[in-house]
Amino acid sequence: MVDDIVIDVRGLNKSFGRHHVVKDLALSVRRGEIFGFLGPNGSGKTTSIRMLCGLLTPDSGEGTCLGFDIRRESKAIKRHVGYMTQRFSLWEDLTIRENLRFVARMYSMDNGRPRVEAALARLGLADRAHQLAGELSGGWKQRLALAACLLHEPRLLLLDEPTAGVDPKARRDFWDQLHELAAQGITVLVSTHYMDEAERCHKLGYILGGRLLVQGTAREVVASQSLGAWTVDGPALAALATRLRALPAVEQVAAFGAALHVTGDDAGALDAALAPFRAEPGRTWRRIEPGLEDVFIHLMRDGAERAPARGGRAAHE
């Protein structure tokens, strides 16, 4: 149903000086979906997110967010969006409770105090409410930032690499919370570098050089690239890796524990190229399904080979 579409944009472009950061972005996200935005640093993820939530006006393109026009009604969008930046942006010399009460006052909430107490309970922060934010670990700062995002009961969460520098358990707890929010009908758009997090998203999009190259479920994204993949274990793997990397049909050779992971962008050509190596005694070869990491490294390599040389590093992402 049309009413289920939370984000619907087409042809979004944004440049900073001569640098074209986002190129013809088209994206559709439904209510209650967790959409993962992936790509290397400088690819355009953050700029895209900021355009979607009304913090940046696109140079061209059109679309809606939460039913509001992204170019003409950015103020209305901001009232219904929770935006969590990669860097902790609350006040470290205030306690958890004081931070949340200050945020509530910023939103002019009439029922700010009960909402703060509810947020403390919801995110498991009540027992630490008196603790200074500056004394918190990365995982607890993350919970506080999420609680602040949820105070005004947003319909859409935009999270810019929210788990950077957070330990694995805190990351898993955070994603459990995101899925609970999605089940309640809150839509989540999140950028991440972690493949395990990407696999927990309902849908994914990979952006490189400002262009969204592929989007869909994790299974659809992997299938779209038609990669071939094998794993091999046995003796003298370092020497084998050197030989394999010299083959035109082999794109990636990576060590995974006591085995090698070998992939190529043409499954048939890869099978043929590896046939003589599979006939050598002493090693065990097994065909495997390529993963998201294989796909994203393939897209990065492919994009780097196609892109013209350009000096300097982008000032914006």
User: 99-107: long-range contacts (C-beta < 8 A, 24 or more apart)?
Assistant: 99/133, 99/144, 99/148, 100/144, 100/147, 100/148, 100/151, 103/148, 103/151, 104/151, 107/151, 107/152
In a domain, 108, yes or no: no
Compute the mean pLDDT over every residue in the chain, rounded to the nearest whole number.
Answer: 89
Residue-wise pLDDT tens for the chain (317 aa)?
456 999 999 999 999 999 999 999 999 999 999 999 998 888 898 899 889 888 899 999 999 999 999 999 999 998 899 988 777 778 989 999 999 999 998 888 888 889 999 999 988 899 999 999 999 888 888 889 899 999 888 999 999 888 877 788 888 888 999 999 999 999 999 988 888 889 999 999 999 999 999 999 999 999 998 899 999 999 999 999 999 999 999 999 999 889 999 999 999 999 999 999 999 999 999 999 999 989 988 988 876 555 543 444 344 45
Check residue 155 and give its pLDDT.
93
Identify the domain containing residue 280 by its residue range: 226-289
Check residue 226 and give its pLDDT.
87
In a domain, 279, yes or no: yes
Tell me, what CATH number does 258's domain have?
A: 3.30.70.100
Would you say 228 and 275 are in contact if contact means Cβ atoms under 8 Å apart? no
In a domain, 241, yes or no: yes
In a domain, 171, yes or no: no
In a domain, 252, yes or no: yes
Task: Kindly state the tokens that stand for 180.
Answer: 């609970």
Task: Kindly state the tokens that stand for 10.
Answer: 């087409």
In a domain, 234, yes or no: yes
SS3 label, residue 284? strand
What span, in angstroms and rounded, lies between the C-alpha atoms of 12 and 14? 7
Check residue 315 and give its pLDDT.
40
Check residue 174 and give its pLDDT.
87
Beta carbons within 8 Å of 135's beta carbon, 6+ residues apart: none
Give the number of other Cβ atoms within 10 Å of residue 198's Cβ. Answer: 22
Residue type at position 43: S
User: 103-108: long-range contacts (C-beta < 8 A, 24 or more apart)?
Assistant: 103/148, 103/151, 104/151, 107/151, 107/152
In a domain, 308, yes or no: no
At 88-141, the pLDDT tens digits run: 778 989 999 999 999 998 888 888 889 999 999 988 899 999 999 999 888 888
In a domain, 62, yes or no: no
Task: Kindly state the tokens that stand for 43.
Answer: 């690819």
Percent of the chain with pLDDT over 70: 94
Name which of 93, 94, 96, 66 is nearest 82 in CA terms: 66
What span, in angstroms and rounded, lies between the C-alpha atoms of 211 and 10? 12
| Domains in the chain, number | 1
DSSP string, 199-236: TTSSEEEEEETTEEEEEE-HHHHHHTTT-EEEEEESS-
Check residue 306 and give its pLDDT.
52
Task: Kindly state the tokens that stand for 206.
Answer: 């990979």
